[in-house]
Amino acid sequence: MTKSIAALCPALFLTAPASNQGKTTITAALARYFTKQGKVVRVFKTGPDYLDPQILAQASQQPVEQLDIWMAGDDYCQDRLYRAAQEADLILVEGAMGMFDGEPSSADLAARFDIPMAIVMDVKGMAQTAAAVASGLANFRHDVEIAGLIANRCGSERHAQLIRDALPDNLPLLVTLKRDEEVTLPERHLGLVQAEEVKDELELRFEAAVDWLQQSADKGLLALPKVVSFQPAKKPVNTIKTEPLLQGKTIAVANDAAFSFIYDANVNVLTDLGAKVVFFSPLNDAEVPEADALWLPGGYPELHAKALSENVSMRTSIQAFYQSGQPILAECGGMLYSLETLTDLEESEYRMLGILEGQGAMRGKRGCQGMQTAVMPEGDIRGHAHHRSRSANTPTPVGYGRRQRHPAPGEPIYQQKALTASYLHLFFPSNVEATAKLFLKQASSLASE
């Protein structure tokens, strides 16, 4: 038996004591810096996230994938890192929330794959205390290797020196970065603005970020980090564990400014299952392209509700697709689009598709988020919820999401004809067979509404 050979690649895990410390900005800056040096940089984002990966993909000019042991599985994560290490000169992983938050946490992931971590910290308003916090994080667990501290929003060289002098010898200050509005990434109510909306602006910010790094007081980040040995998965990871169940099928996927929450991994599952994936725009196109199934992913329909409502030909086309009994998967924003009406943040109400009974409405800062498993007749598919809207007067659900750490029922899941709709964003690799069944669903197998 031939023994699998490990793939060697420098790697660094960007973490922080909390959210909003500058992880995405610094990860994007590093990705662009090393890309400009001619390096192939592969970036991974921990946990469920659609917006950060768009920006990181533009910065690195490479695809960005999710790493989450709960959502995707240990072998899946190991396989993706191993494959990336075979082609990359550098792997960067951006953590989520704080270093030890969540189950599994960023620290769990870094420890599992022996990736050294750099602590990103907004040090505005503190000096020696920043060193104390960093030291506490570095020594909280002994199975995590800490490469050093990145001091973001550092006011001056004197400020940097106070932090540097207070750090222990085994916790170096890798870089000190001043606050720079030309580098800071733009934001929106659910996170960062979508990259496609501000592509040219992001390019300017990435270039400014490279200068930002080069002008920093400490430049420990400008050398490639420690080489990590990435092992192949213990169990060979093939996306398809059965025959290509979607062979010969065409799946139309909504993809524009209103609908863009699409994992690359999900598209890869569909194509590996044998499907042809075609993209279309509910905002700009007149009708659904010729297809056997339809996927309406999440996004920001509330920001484009008027345009979606006024595209009557598209609404008519999707309604006919639904009435014909062809499969439709509608996730979060796609579900809101499927309802009868949607009320935006300005409290204006617009007509939507009306293929699912009920009304949707935005509700400002209140919302729901968290990891859940969609429990459906087709099988369990893991995913997550993240929305700041509500729905009312919807049909009786066929099931509910199962929360990761709470016994209360999660998001309701609706099925009518061959439509499956929920607030949940599904991660297809967690159950490819169940995913295939959703896109093969026949209206005759379900009760009529």
How many structural domains compose the chain?
2
Identify the pLDDT of residue 224: 92
Given the residues 77, 154, 332, 368, the one annotated as active site: 332
Identify the pLDDT of residue 209: 86
Q: How confident is the model at residue 205 (pLDDT cuts 50, 70, 90)?
A: confident
Q: Identify which has the larger pLDDT, 11 or 156.
A: 11
Average pLDDT value for residue range 432-439: 95
Pair 275, 423 in one domain = yes
Q: Is 244 part of any domain?
A: no
What is the share, in percent, of the chain residues with pLDDT greater than 90?
A: 71
pTM: 0.87
Q: Is 239 part of any domain?
A: no
pLDDT score of 240 more than 60: no
The mean of the pLDDT values for the chain is: 89
Pair 344, 432 in one domain = yes
- C-alpha 50/C-alpha 260 separation (Å) is 8
Checking DSSP bridges between strand 146-152 and strand 117-122, what pairing results, if any?
parallel
Pair 271, 220 in one domain = no
Token couple for 148: 């050093």
Q: Is 116 part of any domain?
A: yes
| Full 3-state SS string of 182-210 | CCCCCEECCEECCHHHHHHHHHHHHHHHH
Pair 161, 257 in one domain = no
Among 46, 49, 164, which residue's Cα sits nearest to residue 105?
Answer: 46
- Residue 117, SS3? strand
Among 27, 184, 14, which residue's Cα sits nearest to residue 110?
Answer: 14
Identify the pLDDT of residue 236: 56
Pair 180, 262 in one domain = no
Pair 49, 181 in one domain = yes
pLDDT score of 152 more than 70: yes
**∠ CA 57-20-332, rounded to 5°:** 60
State the helix-helix crossing angle for 51-60 and 23-36, rounded to 10 degrees: 20
DSSP state of 21: S
Residues 212-231: tens digit of each pLDDT: 888 887 888 889 999 999 99
Torsion angle in degrees (nearest 10) through CA of 259, 271, 273, 240: -100
State the helix-helix crossing angle for 199-214 and 51-60, rounded to 10 degrees: 70
- Could you list the residue range(s) of the whole structural domain that residue 297 is in? 250-445
Average pLDDT value for residue range 104-121: 96
Q: Identify which has the larger pLDDT, 11 or 55.
A: 11
Q: Is 44 part of any domain?
A: yes
pLDDT score of 90 more than 50: yes
pLDDT score of 189 more than 60: no
Identify the pLDDT of residue 339: 97
Q: Is 215 part of any domain?
A: yes
Residue 432's domain is classified under what CATH number? 3.40.50.880
Q: Is 50 part of any domain?
A: yes
pLDDT score of 86 more than 60: yes
Residue 72's domain is classified under what CATH number? 3.40.50.300
Average pLDDT value for residue range 365-380: 83
pLDDT score of 291 more than 90: yes
Q: Is 235 part of any domain?
A: no
Pair 18, 163 in one domain = yes
Residues 399-420: tens digit of each pLDDT: 999 988 878 888 999 999 999 9
Residues 94-109: tens digit of each pLDDT: 999 999 998 899 999 9
Pair 220, 369 in one domain = no
Q: Is 378 part of any domain?
A: yes
Residues 135-149: tens digit of each pLDDT: 999 999 999 999 999
To the query of whether residue 9 is one of the catalytic residues in this protein, the response is: no
The one-letter amino acid at 339: L
Q: How confident is the model at residue 1 (pLDDT cuts 50, 70, 90)?
A: very low
Identify the pLDDT of residue 323: 96
Q: How confident is the model at residue 447 (pLDDT cuts 50, 70, 90)?
A: very low
Q: Identify which has the larger pLDDT, 371 or 282.
A: 282
Pair 275, 188 in one domain = no
**Residue where a domain stops, chosen among 199, 230, 261:** 230
Pair 187, 216 in one domain = yes
Query: Which stretch of DSSP H or E encloses residue 411?
Result: strand 409-416
Identify the pLDDT of residue 371: 87
Pair 89, 161 in one domain = yes
Pair 206, 260 in one domain = no
What is the share, in percent, of the chain residues with pLDDT greater than 70?
A: 91
